[in-house]
Amino acid sequence: MSVKLLLGSYTRNAGTGIYQTTLDVEKKQLAQPSAYITAGNPTYLAVSQAKRLYSVLAEKDAGGLVAYDLADFNAPKLINKSVQPGSSPAYVAVDEARQLVYSAKYHSGQLLIHRVLPDGGLELVTTVTDHGHGPKPEQDGAHVHFADLTPDQRLVTCDLGTDEVHTYDVTADGQVTEVAVYQTAAGFGPRHIVFHPTAPIAYLAGELGSAVEVLNYDATTGRFTHLQTIATIPAEHTTHNGAAAIRISADGRFLYVSNRGHDSLAGFAIKADYSLKLQQLIATEGEFPRDFAFDPTEKFVVCANQNTSNLTLFARDAKTGKLSLLQKDIACTEPVCVRFLNF
Protein backbone atom coordinates (compact mmCIF):
# COMPACT_ATOMS: atom_id res chain seq x y z
CA MET A 1 0.00 0.00 0.00
CA SER A 2 1.34 3.42 -0.96
CA VAL A 3 0.34 6.86 0.29
CA LYS A 4 0.80 10.02 -1.76
CA LEU A 5 2.42 13.14 -0.39
CA LEU A 6 3.25 16.58 -1.71
CA LEU A 7 6.30 18.63 -0.83
CA GLY A 8 6.47 22.41 -0.85
CA SER A 9 9.84 24.01 -1.46
CA TYR A 10 11.88 27.11 -2.15
CA THR A 11 12.78 27.79 -5.78
CA ARG A 12 15.60 30.24 -5.13
CA ASN A 13 18.23 27.90 -6.52
CA ALA A 14 17.54 24.77 -8.57
CA GLY A 15 14.04 23.99 -7.31
CA THR A 16 10.99 23.88 -9.58
CA GLY A 17 8.15 24.13 -7.06
CA ILE A 18 5.89 21.41 -5.69
CA TYR A 19 7.11 17.81 -5.71
CA GLN A 20 5.24 14.53 -5.34
CA THR A 21 6.29 11.18 -3.94
CA THR A 22 4.83 8.07 -2.31
CA LEU A 23 5.40 6.21 0.93
CA ASP A 24 5.19 2.45 0.69
CA VAL A 25 3.98 1.54 4.19
CA GLU A 26 4.68 -2.19 3.72
CA LYS A 27 8.22 -1.78 2.43
CA LYS A 28 8.70 1.19 4.79
CA GLN A 29 10.26 3.17 1.99
CA LEU A 30 9.87 6.66 0.56
CA ALA A 31 10.14 6.93 -3.22
CA GLN A 32 12.36 9.47 -4.94
CA PRO A 33 10.34 12.72 -5.30
CA SER A 34 9.55 14.05 -8.77
CA ALA A 35 8.48 17.46 -10.03
CA TYR A 36 4.70 17.95 -9.87
CA ILE A 37 3.72 21.62 -10.23
CA THR A 38 6.00 24.46 -11.32
CA ALA A 39 5.49 27.47 -9.01
CA GLY A 40 7.52 30.17 -7.29
CA ASN A 41 8.47 29.41 -3.67
CA PRO A 42 5.45 27.22 -2.79
CA THR A 43 6.60 27.01 0.82
CA TYR A 44 3.33 25.94 2.47
CA LEU A 45 0.47 23.79 1.20
CA ALA A 46 -3.10 22.95 2.21
CA VAL A 47 -5.45 20.48 0.54
CA SER A 48 -9.24 20.62 0.88
CA GLN A 49 -11.71 17.77 1.06
CA ALA A 50 -12.79 18.72 -2.46
CA LYS A 51 -9.27 17.84 -3.69
CA ARG A 52 -8.22 21.44 -4.22
CA LEU A 53 -4.64 22.41 -3.45
CA TYR A 54 -3.98 25.87 -2.00
CA SER A 55 -0.33 26.85 -2.11
CA VAL A 56 1.78 29.83 -1.15
CA LEU A 57 3.07 31.58 -4.27
CA ALA A 58 5.78 34.15 -5.01
CA GLU A 59 5.83 36.08 -8.29
CA LYS A 60 8.39 38.86 -8.87
CA ASP A 61 7.47 41.63 -6.37
CA ALA A 62 4.16 40.05 -5.34
CA GLY A 63 3.05 37.14 -3.20
CA GLY A 64 -0.12 35.33 -2.34
CA LEU A 65 -1.93 32.06 -2.95
CA VAL A 66 -2.63 29.84 -5.93
CA ALA A 67 -5.43 27.27 -6.27
CA TYR A 68 -5.24 23.98 -8.19
CA ASP A 69 -7.80 21.28 -8.86
CA LEU A 70 -6.37 17.81 -8.09
CA ALA A 71 -9.46 15.80 -9.12
CA ASP A 72 -7.24 14.21 -11.74
CA PHE A 73 -4.13 13.87 -9.63
CA ASN A 74 -1.89 13.16 -12.60
CA ALA A 75 -3.01 16.36 -14.35
CA PRO A 76 -3.34 19.16 -11.77
CA LYS A 77 -5.34 22.09 -13.12
CA LEU A 78 -4.68 25.73 -12.27
CA ILE A 79 -7.88 27.41 -11.05
CA ASN A 80 -6.75 30.94 -10.15
CA LYS A 81 -4.28 33.08 -8.22
CA SER A 82 -4.67 35.77 -5.59
CA VAL A 83 -1.51 37.82 -5.25
CA GLN A 84 -0.78 41.19 -3.67
CA PRO A 85 2.28 43.47 -3.68
CA GLY A 86 4.98 42.37 -1.27
CA SER A 87 6.10 39.03 0.05
CA SER A 88 4.21 35.74 0.02
CA PRO A 89 2.53 34.15 3.06
CA ALA A 90 4.20 31.69 5.42
CA TYR A 91 1.14 29.55 6.18
CA VAL A 92 -2.15 28.52 4.60
CA ALA A 93 -5.14 26.59 6.00
CA VAL A 94 -8.61 25.58 4.84
CA ASP A 95 -11.84 26.18 6.80
CA GLU A 96 -14.12 23.49 5.39
CA ALA A 97 -17.29 24.52 7.24
CA ARG A 98 -17.20 28.16 6.11
CA GLN A 99 -15.38 27.50 2.82
CA LEU A 100 -12.64 29.99 3.67
CA VAL A 101 -8.87 29.88 3.30
CA TYR A 102 -6.62 31.59 5.85
CA SER A 103 -3.06 32.73 5.21
CA ALA A 104 -0.42 34.40 7.37
CA LYS A 105 1.84 37.02 5.78
CA TYR A 106 4.96 36.99 7.92
CA HIS A 107 6.81 40.00 6.52
CA SER A 108 3.85 42.39 6.53
CA GLY A 109 2.31 41.09 9.77
CA GLN A 110 -1.04 40.34 8.18
CA LEU A 111 -3.84 37.81 8.34
CA LEU A 112 -5.57 37.31 4.98
CA ILE A 113 -8.90 35.57 4.55
CA HIS A 114 -10.12 34.33 1.17
CA ARG A 115 -13.50 32.85 0.34
CA VAL A 116 -13.58 29.74 -1.79
CA LEU A 117 -15.43 30.29 -5.06
CA PRO A 118 -17.73 27.62 -6.53
CA ASP A 119 -14.96 26.38 -8.83
CA GLY A 120 -12.47 26.18 -5.94
CA GLY A 121 -10.75 29.46 -6.75
CA LEU A 122 -9.98 32.16 -4.21
CA GLU A 123 -11.27 35.70 -3.62
CA LEU A 124 -9.72 37.94 -0.93
CA VAL A 125 -12.36 39.23 1.50
CA THR A 126 -10.57 40.30 4.71
CA THR A 127 -7.15 41.65 5.71
CA VAL A 128 -6.11 42.21 9.33
CA THR A 129 -2.81 43.95 10.07
CA ASP A 130 -0.99 43.46 13.38
CA HIS A 131 1.18 46.15 14.97
CA GLY A 132 4.00 46.06 17.50
CA HIS A 133 7.39 44.47 18.05
CA GLY A 134 9.36 42.36 20.50
CA PRO A 135 12.77 42.51 22.20
CA LYS A 136 14.79 40.36 19.75
CA PRO A 137 16.27 41.43 16.38
CA GLU A 138 13.85 39.13 14.54
CA GLN A 139 10.98 40.99 16.22
CA ASP A 140 11.43 44.37 14.55
CA GLY A 141 7.74 44.41 13.66
CA ALA A 142 4.63 42.25 13.55
CA HIS A 143 5.23 38.87 11.88
CA VAL A 144 2.12 36.68 11.63
CA HIS A 145 3.33 33.11 11.12
CA PHE A 146 0.20 30.99 11.59
CA ALA A 147 -3.56 31.23 11.02
CA ASP A 148 -5.79 28.22 11.61
CA LEU A 149 -8.82 26.98 13.53
CA THR A 150 -9.32 26.12 17.19
CA PRO A 151 -11.32 22.97 18.04
CA ASP A 152 -14.43 25.15 18.55
CA GLN A 153 -14.00 26.73 15.11
CA ARG A 154 -12.58 30.07 16.17
CA LEU A 155 -9.54 31.40 14.34
CA VAL A 156 -6.18 31.69 16.06
CA THR A 157 -3.07 33.49 14.79
CA CYS A 158 0.51 33.42 16.07
CA ASP A 159 2.54 36.62 15.75
CA LEU A 160 6.24 35.87 16.11
CA GLY A 161 7.15 39.55 16.09
CA THR A 162 4.87 40.76 18.87
CA ASP A 163 4.89 37.63 21.08
CA GLU A 164 1.10 37.44 20.78
CA VAL A 165 -1.54 34.82 20.01
CA HIS A 166 -4.83 36.31 18.79
CA THR A 167 -8.22 34.59 18.95
CA TYR A 168 -11.04 35.65 16.60
CA ASP A 169 -14.66 34.86 16.01
CA VAL A 170 -15.29 34.35 12.28
CA THR A 171 -18.50 34.88 10.34
CA ALA A 172 -19.64 32.72 7.43
CA ASP A 173 -18.47 35.38 4.98
CA GLY A 174 -14.98 35.72 6.47
CA GLN A 175 -15.30 38.76 8.74
CA VAL A 176 -13.48 38.56 12.08
CA THR A 177 -13.88 39.97 15.58
CA GLU A 178 -10.97 39.68 18.01
CA VAL A 179 -12.07 38.11 21.30
CA ALA A 180 -8.75 37.53 23.12
CA VAL A 181 -5.00 38.15 22.99
CA TYR A 182 -2.46 35.97 24.79
CA GLN A 183 0.98 37.41 25.53
CA THR A 184 3.84 34.92 25.61
CA ALA A 185 7.10 35.33 27.46
CA ALA A 186 9.13 38.17 25.92
CA GLY A 187 11.24 36.96 23.00
CA PHE A 188 9.44 33.60 22.79
CA GLY A 189 8.48 34.18 19.15
CA PRO A 190 5.29 32.10 18.79
CA ARG A 191 5.32 30.26 15.47
CA HIS A 192 2.74 27.43 15.37
CA ILE A 193 0.14 26.00 17.75
CA VAL A 194 -1.62 22.63 18.04
CA PHE A 195 -4.53 21.52 20.20
CA HIS A 196 -5.01 18.41 22.29
CA PRO A 197 -7.66 16.16 20.68
CA THR A 198 -9.81 15.72 23.81
CA ALA A 199 -8.74 18.27 26.44
CA PRO A 200 -8.90 22.11 26.49
CA ILE A 201 -5.14 22.30 26.10
CA ALA A 202 -2.92 23.86 23.43
CA TYR A 203 0.80 23.51 22.74
CA LEU A 204 2.54 26.61 21.37
CA ALA A 205 5.93 26.38 19.65
CA GLY A 206 8.24 29.34 20.23
CA GLU A 207 10.70 29.69 17.36
CA LEU A 208 12.94 32.23 19.07
CA GLY A 209 12.68 30.68 22.52
CA SER A 210 13.31 27.08 21.34
CA ALA A 211 10.55 26.02 23.68
CA VAL A 212 6.93 24.95 23.96
CA GLU A 213 4.36 26.69 26.11
CA VAL A 214 1.55 24.48 27.40
CA LEU A 215 -1.65 26.52 27.55
CA ASN A 216 -5.16 26.08 28.85
CA TYR A 217 -7.78 27.08 26.27
CA ASP A 218 -11.11 28.45 27.50
CA ALA A 219 -13.66 27.83 24.75
CA THR A 220 -16.15 30.17 26.42
CA THR A 221 -13.91 33.22 26.09
CA GLY A 222 -11.25 32.16 23.58
CA ARG A 223 -8.56 32.95 26.14
CA PHE A 224 -5.30 31.08 26.73
CA THR A 225 -3.56 30.81 30.10
CA HIS A 226 -0.02 29.56 30.72
CA LEU A 227 0.61 26.20 32.41
CA GLN A 228 4.20 25.18 31.53
CA THR A 229 7.23 26.10 29.45
CA ILE A 230 9.69 23.41 28.36
CA ALA A 231 12.77 23.61 26.13
CA THR A 232 13.01 21.76 22.82
CA ILE A 233 16.82 21.60 22.89
CA PRO A 234 19.37 20.58 25.53
CA ALA A 235 20.76 23.30 27.79
CA GLU A 236 24.27 22.75 26.46
CA HIS A 237 23.24 23.72 22.92
CA THR A 238 24.16 27.40 22.87
CA THR A 239 24.49 28.08 19.13
CA HIS A 240 21.57 29.23 16.99
CA ASN A 241 18.36 27.23 16.96
CA GLY A 242 14.82 27.94 15.85
CA ALA A 243 11.89 25.72 16.75
CA ALA A 244 9.72 25.18 13.68
CA ALA A 245 6.94 22.62 13.10
CA ILE A 246 4.87 21.13 15.93
CA ARG A 247 2.66 18.02 15.71
CA ILE A 248 0.53 16.08 18.17
CA SER A 249 -0.48 12.43 17.85
CA ALA A 250 -4.17 11.69 17.35
CA ASP A 251 -4.35 9.86 20.69
CA GLY A 252 -3.08 12.95 22.52
CA ARG A 253 -0.16 11.09 24.11
CA PHE A 254 2.85 12.49 22.26
CA LEU A 255 4.07 15.84 20.90
CA TYR A 256 6.91 16.55 18.47
CA VAL A 257 8.81 19.71 17.48
CA SER A 258 11.52 20.23 14.85
CA ASN A 259 14.69 22.12 15.77
CA ARG A 260 16.46 24.11 13.04
CA GLY A 261 20.05 24.48 14.19
CA HIS A 262 20.18 21.58 16.62
CA ASP A 263 18.79 19.69 13.58
CA SER A 264 16.64 17.31 15.53
CA LEU A 265 13.11 16.25 16.29
CA ALA A 266 12.18 16.62 19.95
CA GLY A 267 9.69 14.03 21.17
CA PHE A 268 7.63 14.72 24.28
CA ALA A 269 5.38 12.45 26.32
CA ILE A 270 2.13 14.16 27.34
CA LYS A 271 1.50 13.36 31.00
CA ALA A 272 -1.85 12.84 32.73
CA ASP A 273 -2.02 16.54 33.66
CA TYR A 274 -1.19 17.44 30.00
CA SER A 275 2.25 18.76 30.89
CA LEU A 276 5.20 17.68 28.76
CA LYS A 277 8.22 15.50 29.46
CA LEU A 278 11.05 15.43 26.91
CA GLN A 279 11.77 11.80 26.08
CA GLN A 280 13.76 11.87 22.84
CA LEU A 281 15.97 14.04 20.66
CA ILE A 282 16.69 12.34 17.36
CA ALA A 283 18.88 13.75 14.57
CA THR A 284 17.04 14.62 11.36
CA GLU A 285 20.00 13.50 9.23
CA GLY A 286 20.01 16.87 7.50
CA GLU A 287 20.18 20.58 8.22
CA PHE A 288 17.34 23.00 9.03
CA PRO A 289 14.31 20.70 9.40
CA ARG A 290 11.55 23.21 8.71
CA ASP A 291 8.64 20.77 8.54
CA PHE A 292 7.66 17.17 9.20
CA ALA A 293 4.40 15.21 9.15
CA PHE A 294 2.81 11.94 10.21
CA ASP A 295 1.47 9.60 7.55
CA PRO A 296 -2.29 8.78 7.92
CA THR A 297 -1.51 5.75 10.14
CA GLU A 298 0.91 7.78 12.30
CA LYS A 299 3.35 4.89 12.07
CA PHE A 300 5.76 6.98 10.00
CA VAL A 301 7.17 10.51 10.02
CA VAL A 302 8.64 12.30 7.00
CA CYS A 303 10.95 15.23 7.75
CA ALA A 304 12.04 17.93 5.27
CA ASN A 305 15.57 19.28 5.68
CA GLN A 306 15.73 22.62 3.87
CA ASN A 307 19.43 23.45 3.80
CA THR A 308 20.70 20.00 2.81
CA SER A 309 17.87 19.37 0.31
CA ASN A 310 16.93 15.96 1.65
CA LEU A 311 14.05 14.08 3.23
CA THR A 312 14.27 11.64 6.12
CA LEU A 313 11.86 8.82 6.97
CA PHE A 314 11.29 7.64 10.54
CA ALA A 315 9.21 4.85 12.02
CA ARG A 316 7.04 5.88 14.99
CA ASP A 317 6.21 3.50 17.84
CA ALA A 318 2.60 4.25 18.79
CA LYS A 319 3.07 2.82 22.31
CA THR A 320 6.22 4.67 23.30
CA GLY A 321 6.02 7.60 20.88
CA LYS A 322 9.67 7.16 19.99
CA LEU A 323 11.07 7.55 16.49
CA SER A 324 13.65 5.39 14.74
CA LEU A 325 15.48 6.08 11.50
CA LEU A 326 14.38 4.15 8.41
CA GLN A 327 15.71 6.12 5.44
CA LYS A 328 17.79 9.24 4.85
CA ASP A 329 19.39 11.29 2.09
CA ILE A 330 16.30 11.25 -0.13
CA ALA A 331 17.08 14.11 -2.52
CA CYS A 332 14.56 16.96 -2.80
CA THR A 333 15.54 20.57 -3.52
CA GLU A 334 15.01 22.89 -0.52
CA PRO A 335 11.94 21.10 0.90
CA VAL A 336 10.03 23.06 3.55
CA CYS A 337 6.51 21.58 3.70
CA VAL A 338 5.28 17.97 3.95
CA ARG A 339 1.63 17.28 3.15
CA PHE A 340 0.18 13.75 3.06
CA LEU A 341 -2.90 13.15 0.91
CA ASN A 342 -5.88 10.95 1.80
CA PHE A 343 -6.89 10.22 -1.78
pLDDT given at position 23: 98
pLDDT given at position 176: 98
Average pLDDT, the chain: 98
Largest Cα–Cα separation, the chain: 54
pLDDT given at position 156: 98
The 10s digit of each residue's pLDDT in 19-57 is: 999 999 999 999 999 999 999 999 999 999 999 999 999
Bridge partners of 291? 304
What CATH number was assigned to the domain covering residues 232-342? 2.130.10.10
The 10s digit of each residue's pLDDT in 244-299 is: 999 999 999 999 999 999 999 999 999 999 999 999 999 999 999 999 999 999 99
pLDDT given at position 202: 99
The 10s digit of each residue's pLDDT in 73-82 is: 999 999 999 9
Which strands sit side by side in the sheet containing 300-305, from one edge to the other? 289-294, 300-305, 310-316, 323-331
The domain spans of the chain are 232-342
The 10s digit of each residue's pLDDT in 112-163 is: 999 999 999 999 999 999 999 999 999 999 999 999 999 999 999 999 999 9
SS3 letters for 242-306? EEEEEEECCCCCEEEEEEECCCEEEEEEECCCCCEEEEEEEECCCCCEEEEEECCCCCEEEEEEC
Report the predicted TM-score, pTM, of the whole model to 2 decimal places. 0.98
pLDDT given at position 181: 98
pLDDT given at position 261: 98
Per cent of the chain over pLDDT 90 is 98
Confidence of residue 62 (pLDDT cuts 50, 70, 90): very high
pLDDT, mean of residues 315-324 = 98
pLDDT given at position 311: 98
CA 64, distance to chain mean position in Å, is 17
